[in-house]
């Protein structure tokens, strides 16, 4: 039974990747708004209903890392040891995504970045995902905060961190669209991220963080 479930899950993941890959190719070739679910289904050789079962929103076909994106900051905080300040851990996590050229940090390649930038729908969806990321972070910070802090403190800290995160994400996209390679972007963003995290430390204080984004 376990083997059978594993095969079914593997098949589902394979189908999901197939649909997502064909959707991304069509979005880049034709533009997001101009591409239909029917065209994606035909390219992937599946029914339209299969596409919408895996991806209820058309935007999720393009931004298919949305769950990892919205939860990534919160997961770092949730994994902290008792009393460990979140800011250094978040800085290290960002550095890891920078070194790994992760799509979660904004490394998407120039064609994909241009496709998103040219689509009002995807641009709006990305703003929504940033907002959801901030909300998830605020909840994680609240859960990790001592009861003595003001109730607004986790939300205020999350707002500052999320604003910095948006800035760094946009900076990576900006450099991508300017034709810079991933290695060049990493080299330029490393000191910039350290500077941003230094500003965060000054803003939130040592109780919420302990240093810049250095490993």
Residue written as token pair 């990534």: 72
| Domain 2-60: CATH superfamily, name plus number | Homeodomain-like (1.10.10.60)
Domain positions in the chain: 2-60, 66-204
Are 61 and 40 spatial neighbours (Cβ–Cβ below 8 Å)? yes
Output the pLDDT for position 1. 61
Q: Which CATH class is domain 66-204?
A: mainly alpha
pLDDT > 60? residue 116: yes
- Establish whether domains 2-60 and 66-204 are of one fold: no
Tell me what the mean pLDDT of segment 74-90 comes to. Answer: 91
Output the pLDDT for position 75. 96
First to last CA, the chain: 44
pLDDT > 80? residue 5: no
Write down the pTM of the prediction.
Answer: 0.86
pLDDT > 60? residue 155: yes
b/e for 24-50, b at 16 or more Cβ within 10 A?
A: bebbbeeebeebeeeebbebbebeeee
């Amino acid at each position: 039974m376990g083997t059978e479930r594993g095969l079914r899950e593997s098949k589902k993941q394979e189908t999901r990747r197939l649909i997502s890959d064909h959707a991304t190719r069509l979005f880049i070739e034709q533009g997001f708004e101009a591409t239909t679910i029917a065209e994606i289904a035909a390219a992937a050789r599946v029914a339209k209903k299969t596409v919408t079962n895996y991806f209820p929103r058309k935007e999720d076909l393009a931004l298919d890392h949305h769950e990892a994106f919205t939860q990534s900051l919160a997961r770092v905080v949730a994994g902290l040891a008792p009393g460990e300040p979140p800011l250094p851990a978040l800085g290290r996590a960002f550095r890891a995504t920078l070194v790994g050229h992760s799509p979660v940090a904004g490394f998407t390649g120039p064609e994909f970045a241009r496709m998103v930038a040219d689509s009002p729908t995807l641009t709006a969806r990305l703003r929504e995902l940033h907002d959801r990321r901030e909300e998830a972070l605020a909840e994680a910070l609240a859960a990790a905060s001592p009861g003595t802090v003001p109730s607004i403190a986790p939300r205020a800290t999350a707002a500052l961190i999320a604003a910095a995160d948006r800035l760094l994400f946009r900076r990576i996209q900006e450099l991508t669209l300017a034709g810079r390679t991933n290695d060049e972007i990493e080299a330029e963003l490393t000191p910039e991220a350290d500077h941003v995290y230094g500003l965060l430390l000054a803003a939130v204080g040592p109780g919420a963080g302990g240093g810049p984004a250095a490993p």
